[in-house]
Amino acid sequence: MCCIKPIELNRLKSFIRRAIAIQPKQAVFHSNLGVVLAGMERFDAAIESYQLAELLNPNSPETANNLGGALHSCGATSTALDCFKRAFLLNPTMPMHGRIWLQLLHMQPQSAGAFHVAGRSAV
């Protein structure tokens, strides 16, 4: 799934963990660790990293979006949809949110109603 070789992902993971040990309150480090763990298809661990990143910085649309992707990969579609909505609210101009959101809405017909923000539809 990931285009980076496993050995490189392990190196990145080690590097980011060292950075976290030095500056444990840097949300971006935890979020980046989540990206690496998701690339290794370790989604449960990635979710933990993204959740910690969100605690440290709840205003990151990238982290909310990535958390949604990891949750979706674990089958938690409803919770993933909440993350994608939050990512959209934090930054409605990120084009990836709308595309993923539409895919999830097609998988959840009961959620087919459009989500509206300031008079605009997010889908």
**CATH code assigned at 94:** 1.25.40.10
User: Number of structural domains, the chain?
Assistant: 1
In tens digits, what is the pLDDT along the chain, a chain of 123 residues? 456 677 889 999 999 999 999 999 999 999 999 999 999 999 999 999 999 999 999 999 999 999 999 999 999 988 998 998 898 889 888 776 656 665 666 665 444 344 433 334 444
Across the chain, the runs of DSSP E, i.e. the strands, are: 116-117, 120-121
Residue 113 lies in a domain: yes
Instruction: Give the global pTM.
Output: 0.78
The Cα 24–Cα 28 span in angstroms is 10
Residue 1 lies in a domain: no
* Domain assignment of residue 28, given as a range: 6-121
Residue 108 lies in a domain: yes
